[in-house]
Amino acid sequence: MSLDPAYLEYPKRRRGMDHDYYPYSNFFERKPLQWPDAKKLLVWPVISLEYFPMVPSDDPFRAPGHMQTAYPDYRHYTAREYGTRIGIYRLLGAFEKVGARISVAINSVIAERYPELIRDIVAGGHEIIAHSTDMNGTIASGMDVAEERILIIRSLDALEKATGTRPRGWLSIARSQSFHTARLLVEAGVDYMCDWVNDELPYAFQTEAGPITNLPLNHELSDRQIINVQQQSVDSYTQQMTDAANWLIGEAETSGGRMMPMHLTPYIMGLPYRIAAFERLIADFAERPDIGFSRGDTIIDNWDAQQ
C-alpha cells in the first residue's frame, strides 16, 4: 500500500499563507485602534434572522437548525418561527433598553414575509446585513457559479427593496463559502463579509475582482456554539461573554481598541427562561464606561479611517 506520490508534494509550501486572499498578520503587532468616545471594547451584536422552508434543501448542504423529521416537521418549523415572532422582539428589546444599535443578518425572504418586523428593525437604527435568501440558500464548492451569483444578488436586491438601503455586509449561512463567494460579493458591491473567523478585528481580503473587508464574526462566541452545540446554560454563556469582555479590555490597555462579536439566534436566546440573564448581561455591559455597542458597518468605517 502506498499513496499517490503527489500526496508528498507541497506546491504551496512557502513563506506566508497557502492562498492569496490575505497575508499573514500578527494581531499584536498592528497599529493600535482608537474607538470613538475612548471605548476600549466594542461589542458587535449580530442577530441572525432566519426563515426555514418546511421542505429543506441539502444542496449543497442542509443549514444548521433546519428540518429534521419526515414531512411535515411542524416542531422545527414552528420552533424556528418562534424566533421570528417572539424571540427577535425580546432581543431587540434588550438592546433598545440600553440604546444600543446593532446588526441584524437577515434572510431576504423575511423582508418579503414580515415587512412589519423589518420596519421595526430599521426604525430602531439597526444595520441590516444580507444573510442569503432563506435557510435553503446555503453556499459551498460544487455549487454552480451563476446560481451563487443569483443567490447573492437576489438577497441584496430584496433587502434593498424592503428598506431603501442596500446592505453593505454579508453573512453566509453557517459562514460557508465556495472559492467564488468573496469575488462574487465584491462584484455585487458588498463592502464586507463576516464569514472568516481567523481574526478579532477587520482585515483586507483580496479577490480577483478587488478587495473586500472581512469582519470576523467569531462562531465560538455565539449562542449556537455555547448553548446548542456545547450544551451550556445561559448563565454559563453570560459568564463566558463577561470573561471574554474583561480579557479583551485588559488587552486594550496596551494594544488598542478591541472588538467582541456576539452572534445571537432568536429561537435560542429569545426564550423566556434565557432572556432575563441575557438582558442582565447587556445591562451590565451598558453600564461600563469602557464598553460600547456597535453596528458592523460602524466598526468597519472606524477601522478603515485608521488604516
Catalog residues that contact another protein under the rule CB under 8 A. Answer: 1-4, 6-10, 12-19, 24-28, 60-61, 140-142, 172, 174-179, 195-200, 216, 218-221, 229-232, 236, 239-241, 243-248, 260
The residue among 73 and 195 lying less far from another protein, judged by its C-beta, is: 195
The residue among 158 and 188 lying less far from another protein, judged by its C-beta, is: 188
The residue among 163 and 225 lying less far from another protein, judged by its C-beta, is: 225
The residue among 167 and 216 lying less far from another protein, judged by its C-beta, is: 216
Half-sphere exposure of 69 (CA within 13 A, CB side): 8
State whether residue 127 is helix, strand or coil. strand
The residue among 9 and 116 lying less far from another protein, judged by its C-beta, is: 9
User: How many residues would you count in the chain?
Assistant: 307
Cβ contacts of 261 within 8 Å, gap of 6 or more: 44, 46, 216, 217, 218, 221
The residue among 13 and 273 lying less far from another protein, judged by its C-beta, is: 13
Residue 283 to residue 288: CA distance in whole angstroms: 9
> Which sign does the torsion angle of CA 174, 177, 182, 186 carry?
negative
The residue among 28 and 273 lying less far from another protein, judged by its C-beta, is: 28
Q: How far is the CB of 124 from another protein (least distance, A)?
A: 27
Q: How far is the CB of 251 from another protein (least distance, A)?
A: 8
The residue among 163 and 236 lying less far from another protein, judged by its C-beta, is: 236
Residue 197 to residue 279: CA distance in whole angstroms: 26
Angle at CA of residue 29, ends 18 and 219, nearest 5°:
60
Q: How far is the CB of 201 from another protein (least distance, A)?
A: 9
Q: How far is the CB of 8 from another protein (least distance, A)?
A: 6
Cell of 107: 434572510
Q: How far is the CB of 257 from another protein (least distance, A)?
A: 14
Both ends of the chain: CA-CA distance in Å?
53
Q: How far is the CB of 154 from another protein (least distance, A)?
A: 21
Cβ contacts of 217 within 8 Å, gap of 6 or more: 44, 46, 171, 175, 194, 195, 197, 261, 263
The residue behind cell 440604546 is 99
Cell of 193: 463579509
Cell of 38: 475612548
Across the chain, the runs of DSSP E, i.e. the strands, are 41-49, 103-106, 127-130, 169-170, 192-193, 203-207, 210-214, 258-264, 291-293
Q: How far is the CB of 38 from another protein (least distance, A)?
A: 20
Q: How far is the CB of 114 from another protein (least distance, A)?
A: 28
